[in-house]
Structure 1
Amino acid sequence: NQYFLYFTFIRHRQERERKIRQIFGGYKNVQIKIFPLPAAWLDFLTTTSLPLNGLFKERLDLYFAPYVAGIPRVFSPKNPPKMIFTCHDLVFLRFPEHRGSRLSNYYLKRHQIAIKNSQKIIVPSAATKKDLIKFLNVPPQKIVLIPEAADERFRPIRDKNQIKSIISRYFDPQIKYILSVGTLEPRKNLAKLVEAFSLLPHQILRQYRLVLVGGQGWNNNQLSKTITNLNFKEKVILPGFVKDEDLPYIYNGASVFVYPSLYEGFGLPPLEAMACGVPVVAAKTSSLPEVIGKAGILIDPQDEMALAKAIKKLILNPKLAKKMAQKGIARAKNFSWSLAARQTLKVFKTLKRGESGKTEKNTLR
């Protein structure tokens, strides 16, 4: 087989191109095509009625987009390739208030185009599959479940000095802390987490800080108000964005990882935390129970008292925390990108040119 990999970016082009060619440059059957365009431009092109075969000169048998905006309205007037895309979540339908009506309508149209033009849809969780069937009437046999995975760099790190050295780039490495990772936006339910943190016993509040790692999202006023109203500006640490290579160390330094998100298509942060050997408390919503299984404590994300009790339980019971950490490490090993790649390749093989792809059974579980 011949593979063509298409990338669009302008920022940090040399660095990105170097990494891409470092990974794929050794394969003779792989050709790399880089378009010096902002992703938003290609996104616009795929929404128009202009055929994309003018952009992609190669005659393709199969076209795969790892996100919905990569599927064009029109690819080629004659002999278009079979198309597959990955639907990560339907947050714009489940929680439209978290996106705004204009953006939610845009994503709805994008998904409608992609669903119509594709032969298979890959999803990372049964929860996302259920949402596609319920909200967008997608036939179940068109959907293939392929779970995602934590990167291999997320692992237990034994060098405590190295952990503290990396942490010192972002906050005081001597503190004990409870951690959450994710964009600071309403869907992540972080204001509720701060409320739960405030309910912990004084003996814990004296020793621990709450660290919320993530870039500033939209409409996070409630989080700021909650921190201010509780007079917790010194107890809640907002280090902002953490470099990918530093994030495993931030996980490893945490005593407990908490993820009270209201909705996730998969939920990588709790899986990353488990892979690092950190006990996890998470919401029993959407895909999170699938990811965590019995390797963490699942709670109602709207119940701040339940959140506080779960955190307290792990902090005051080191044996339980260690047991949950070990379960998490074992659980995380069930997810791998190598397995996901093999399963994705099987999907590709079911859609050889000339096959409809509409009646194959979903056997990738």
Structure 2
Amino acid sequence: MRSDVRIGIDGFNLAMPHGTGVATYGLALGEAIKSLGAQLDGVFGIPVGVRPELREILFYEALGRGIPQEAGLPAVRAVRRWIGQFRRTRVFDVAKSGLIVQGALERRLPQFDRIVSSARLFEKADRHFARTGRFLTLRLPDPPAIMHWTYPVPIRMAGTNNVYTLHDLVPLKLPYATLDRKRLYYRMIETIVRDAEHVCTVSESSRTDVIEQFGIAADRITNTYQSVSTAQPVGDRRGDVTALFGLEPRGYFLYFGAIEPKKNVGRLIEAYLGSQVDTPLVLVGARAWQADEDLRLLSSGLAGSRNVFGNHVASHIVQLEYLPRALLLRLIEDAKGVIFPSLYEGFGLPVLEAMQLGTPVITSDRSSLPEVAGAAALAVDPYDVGALTSAIQRLDRDDDLARRLAAAGTEQARLFTQDRYRERLFTMYDMILAKNRRTRSTPHMGSK
């Protein structure tokens, strides 16, 4: 494949210190683009300043510690933003000197060939769209052939093919489960569907939702699915889990993901307590909107309590807000089962990660999750607490069932390998470039 093809991705989620599912998607997308032989550009919203010698330092500081708050009093910031709307958005190249000791940040980013950053780009774009109803136009010298926005953002890069990944339409399908401003969100998706060179989704479920709700032509929207790497360093992983958490291999159930309404954690806790199994439940996830409501049974005293690492927790339920990815993967691999009863998902990475690691899965029978899990999981109605309770009891008591699910999951996961993901991306990108070959001097992504 020709190496003079350049593809850009945004760092909207990659820049978040603790990451998100979309950050995992962005990392996998960037690595797949590199493996296709293309050059990779990264577009970030980190303030790096005007001094070239400091940009790389400030860039990696923000990656590790988070993007700093704007300086000044609220009134001063408001005036600065008002004046800023009349200025052209400035974009700076971030040089790669190789002098930064990246350490734990190494696995946060793909290997970019070029990094550019514009201070608070995504916040500016949101304000611009709310004020004008138009996408912010970003102008770069020598833009990439394709700019692949990994998330719906109200930005359009000039002089390139703009592609947007719409992971799902949860704010419109479950409007009561998110805090998005629905009118603005609807208008943004409407603009993307109308004006983007192409739209990408990560499941047939999401693709169908976009077609049905916004009427996009079928040849302008592609489902590439997605992939993820669960490769781990060689070592004694089981000893680490037991030593750190006091959990025996295959001796606990695991949920990991955000604690927010669409993830259905409240019903999961209710079902688990109702199952009366002795196997502990470990919850790994940051608290988001309405987390206290989802976790109300843990603080009510109904579940009993005990101390874990000095923390007061419900009996048999351990909650951890954040874990480094390497340690999370060890917890997944050693779990008796991963339980992911989400109400709605664009893809559902936890299901794939568990299956790749040979861990049995209980999941929802809604949205994209049946596509990902196939027949390799116990699928339940996520609104039916009794059905979820029964599934937990079955997996807890039936070792033969656990072995069958683990084997079937490993096989099902092969449908979402990195090779298959690369093939789908290649097909989509080549199709996009082919449409412009007669009118733009854009190189073809075909083999040399």
**Smaller-chain TM-score range?**
0.7 to 0.9
Q: Deviations over 1:33-70 (max 9, x none)?
A: 231634534644874565322xx111444322222216
TM-score when normalising by structure 2: 0.68
Q: 1:28 corresponds to which residue?
A: none
Match for residue 163 of structure 1 among 231, 235, 238: 238
Aligned equivalents of 1:152, 1:143: Cα separation in 2: 28
CA RMSD of aligned residues (A): 2.8
Match in the other structure for 2:42? 6
Aligned partners of 1:265 and 1:22: how far apart in 2? 22
1:237 partner amino acid: V
Aligned to 2:281, the other structure's residue is in SS state strand
Task: Give 3-state SS (helix, strand or coil) of 1:246's partner.
Answer: helix
Partner of 1:231: 303
- Identity rate of aligned residues, in percent? 23
Partners of 1:5 and 1:277 lie apart in 2 by: 35
Question: Which of 77, 84, 90 does residue 169 from structure 2 map onto?
Answer: 90
Q: Structure 2: 5+ residue runs without aligned partners?
A: 7-39, 47-58, 65-99, 305-313, 440-448
Residue 310 of structure 1: CA displacement?
1.0
Matches within 5 A, 1:1-365: 1-3=4-6, 4-8=40-44, 9=46, 10=59, 11-12=62-63, 15=102, 19=106, 24=111, 31-35=113-117, 37-38=119-120, 40-41=122-123, 43-44=125-126, 47=129, 51-53=137-139, 56-69=140-153, 71-72=155-156, 75-76=157-158, 80-100=159-179, 103-153=181-231, 161-166=236-241, 168-169=243-244, 171-174=245-248, 176-201=251-276, 204-205=277-278, 208-229=279-300, 230-232=302-304, 233-352=314-433, 353-354=436-437
Work out whether residues 364 and 382 of structure 2, in 8 Å CA contact, stay in contact via their aligned partners in 1: yes
Once residues 225 and 334 of structure 1 are traced to their aligned partners in structure 2, the CA distance between those partners, rounded to angstroms, is 38
Q: How far off its partner does 1:315 sit?
A: 1.5
CA contact (8 A) 2:253 2:337 kept: yes
Query: Any conservation in 2 of the 1:284–1:298 contact (CA below 8 Å)?
Result: yes
Instruction: Give the superposition deviation at 1:326.
Output: 0.7
Distance in structure 1 (CA, Å) of the matches to 2:165 and 2:246: 40
Question: Which structure 1 segments of 5+ residues have no match?
Answer: 26-30, 357-365
3-state DSSP of counterpart to 2:376:
coil
**Aligned residues of 2:339 and 2:362 also touching (Cα < 8 A):** yes
Alignment partners' CA distance in 2, 1:45 and 1:52: 15
- Using the TM superposition, give the Cα deviation of residue 283 of structure 1 relative to its aligned residue in structure 2, in angstroms: 0.6
Shift of 1:106: 3.0
Q: Is the 8 A contact 1:215 1:240 kept in 2?
A: yes
Distance across 2 between alignment mates of 1:20 and 1:180 = 23
1:361 aligns to what? Answer: none
Return the TM-score normalized by structure 1: 0.83
Give the whole-Å Cα distance in 1 for the aligned partners of 2:212 and 2:409: 31
User: What is the rounded CA distance, in whole Å, between the counterparts of 2:243 and 2:342 in structure 1?
Assistant: 27
| Closer, same or farther: CA 278–46 of 1 in aligned 2, 3 Å | farther
Shift of 1:298: 0.5
Aligned partner of 1:34: which letter? Answer: V
Cα separation, 2, equivalents of 1:120 and 1:49: 16
Shift of 1:197: 0.7
- In 2, the alpha carbon distance for the partners of 1:22 and 1:88 equals 20
Distance 1:22 1:142, change over 3 A: closer
Supply the distance in 1 between the matched residues of 2:358 and 2:376 (Cα, whole angstroms): 11
Distance 1:355 1:86, change over 3 A: farther
TM-aligned CA deviation for residue 343 of structure 1? 1.7
Relative to 1, partners in 2 of residues 1:17 and 1:191: Cα closer, same or farther, differing over 3 Å?
closer
Structure 1 equivalent of residue 37 of structure 2: none
Distance 2:388 2:364 in 1: 9
AA aligned to 2:138 is L
How many residue pairs match? The answer is: 335
Q: Tell me: higher relative CO, structure 1 or 2? Use CA pairs within 8 A at least 6 residues apart.
A: 1
**Matches of 1:336 and 1:287, distance apart in 2:** 17
Deviation per CA, 1:240-263: give whole Å up to 9, x if none.
Answer: 111112111010221111111000
Deviations 1:256-282 (A, max 9, x none): 111110000000001111111111111
Q: Secondary structure at the match of 2:253?
A: strand
Whether the 8 Å CA contact 1:63–1:82 is kept in 2: the answer is yes
Is the Cα contact below 8 Å between 2:381 and 2:387 reproduced in 1?
yes
Give the residue type in structure 1 aligned to 2:114: I
